[in-house]
Amino acid sequence: MRLPQAPPDWTESLRSASDASRLLHILRLKEAEPAGAYLHWDQLRRRTPPDDLTAEEWWLVVSLARAPLLKEIALETTDGRRFQFSMTESAQRLAHEIDRDASGVLGVPDAIANKATQKQYLVRSLIEEALTSSQLEGAAATRAQAKQMIQEGRKPRNRSERMVLNNYFAMELIRERKSEPLTPGLLLDLHRTIATDTLDDPGQIGRLRDDADIVRVVSDDDTILHVPPPAAELPGRIERMCELANGGGNGFIHPVVRAVLLHFWLAYDHPFCDGNGRTARALFYWSMLQQGYWLTEYVSISRVLKQAPARYAMAFLYSETPPYDATYFVLHQLEVIKKSIADLHAYLTQKAVEVREVESILRHRAGFNHRQIALLGHALRNPGEVYTMATHKTSHRVSHETARQDLYALEAAGLLISRKRGREYEFVAVPNLAKVLQQAPATNPSDPPR
């Protein structure tokens, strides 16, 4: 990966302009987002400028339009300058859409609003984020391995699986401590959860790096992409980051943008010897949940980032060139959040379609009576629901013996699992009921002896 070309100093271009009429023409133009995009100089210089401008004049136009929008934050560069960001029209639109879709209750998917299915989709999202966040950092675990390990409580077999499991625990820690303010202690707890048993030196876990730790961000071809600030500065930097996280700083910052800036801040400071990327993404989730964006629990930003990791890296690199404008990273992440929410809706829609298709198959398949079809349809829409002979008898106004035959026949067909609770048996649907039903025999086995 190559480093982007740093932009020319637009203030110098402004001072050196010699033709007054040309300068007036440039000053009349306003274009913070050419063609709706917040272009970096490295992108803009490759495009054809409008109005017969030179590339440098076009950059001057863009920079003049952006200057009034820029707002400083307390994060300082390694040479003592402060990062800035701006709420452009694109940023405002994206932040509004995330506000609408991730923090309210209107338009919430039925599967998320339904208490019976919430846990199922929450666990799915936690596993997905834990897996893909680890894969971004080189973990080789597969989705099937991660799901089996976490759901069955199996111990990790290698470092990759341990990374995934730690990320899962970190997401649970965030949920448990989302109401707390961010402190250096909480940040160290988060890193400790993420890094345990994944670093060559256990002494680096849960502590800030020191002067003896040489940390660099390098590309696959060994190009140095980022040199973080000196270790001696980290305690003060972490305190200022916590101030931003807890609502302090220079005036109002949109809550979603605040969460994104925390992600960027921790990645820039790179305060740990390893695990900084995973910790930065986890910190983003903590901030979103802490500020009331509860739907964020059900989405995976790392899944989206993994689809285009180079764009993720370039968003950092664009922001780290003068004039240190983090808007590039903010806009990239707002798009990622929006897509992760859209992915969730698409997944839930797909699952709803699958349920309707299976219910249609049931209605047209011989061997199930109407009571069994009703129970299976209910189980499809309410994973984890418990059924007993008493509830089945009451729901359908049948005798105890009929209820017994219905439930045991479904168990014999491999669709329900029974377990004894006191004097009674309880029944729950098998995992992946929809897939099992699609392969179910056309007729049910007879009632087994009990």
Instruction: Find the CATH number of the domain harbouring 399.
Output: 1.10.10.10
Over the chain (450 residues), the average pLDDT of each successive run of 10 is 87 72 78 92 94 88 93 94 96 95 63 63 86 92 89 90 95 94 97 95 95 89 92 97 91 95 98 96 96 91 95 96 96 97 86 78 78 87 85 91 94 91 89 80 48
Tell me if residue 83 falls in helix, strand or coil: strand
Task: Report pLDDT for 446.
Answer: 46
Say which DSSP state 67 is in. G
371, 347, 416, 411: which is closest to 121 by C-alpha? 347
pLDDT at 107: 52
The identity of residue 303, as a single letter, is R
172 and 116 in one domain? Answer: yes
> What single-letter amino acid sits at 291?
Q
> What's the CA gap between 228 and 269, in Å, rounded?
5
Residue finishing a domain among 32, 51, 69: 69
Q: What is the pLDDT of residue 160?
A: 95
Residue 118: which region, alpha, beta or left (left: phi > 0; alpha: psi -120 to 50)?
alpha
CA 165 to chain centre: 16
The answer to whether residue 360 is domain-embedded is no
Distances in Å between the Cα of 379 and the Cα atoms of 121, 348, 359, 384, 385 are 15, 16, 11, 8, 6
Q: Is 171 inside any structural domain? A: yes
CA distances from 64 to 70, 81, 213, 308 (A): 11, 19, 41, 31
398, part of any domain: yes
Amino acid at 325: D
Same domain, 53 and 184: no
Alpha carbon 442 to chain centroid, angstroms? 42
59 and 107 part of one domain = no
* Total domain count, the chain: 3
Query: Which residue is listed with tokens 């109407």?
Result: 370
103 and 185 together in one domain: yes
Give me the domain span that covers residue 53.
10-69
Both 223 and 320 in one domain: the answer is: yes
> Are residues 75 and 15 located together in one domain of the fold?
no
Beta-carbon contacts of residue 87 (< 8 Å; ≥ 6 apart): 69, 71, 95, 254, 257
Whether residue 222 is contained in a domain is answered as: yes
Mark whether 303 and 372 lie in a shared domain.
no
Q: Say if residue 377 is in the same domain as residue 293.
A: no
DSSP 3-state of 4: coil
Same domain? 89 vs 60: no
Query: What pLDDT score does 106 carry?
Result: 46
**Cβ atoms 129, 306 nearer than 8 A:** no
Do 75 and 65 fall into the same domain? no
Residue 296, helix vs strand vs coil: helix
Q: Is residue 221 part of a domain?
A: yes
Alpha carbon distance 328, 228 (integer Å):
19
The per-residue pLDDT for 449 is: 40
The CA–CA distances, whole Å, from 372 to 127, 282, 307, 416 equal: 33, 44, 42, 11
| 323 and 266 in a common domain | yes
CATH number at residue 209: 1.10.3290.10
The reply to whether 298 and 402 lie within a common domain is: no
d(CA 435, CA 414): 12
Mean model confidence pLDDT for the chain: 89
Give the whole-number percent of the chain exceeding pLDDT 70.
93
Does residue 200 belong to any structural domain of this protein? yes
> Is position 357 within any domain?
no
Say what the pLDDT of residue 445 is.
Answer: 46
Q: Which of 348, 381, 401 is the last residue of a domain?
A: 348
Domain end residue (candidates: 69, 103, 120): 69
- Report if residue 2 sits inside a domain: no
Q: Give yes or no for a contact between 442 and 367, defined as CB atoms under 8 angstroms apart.
A: yes
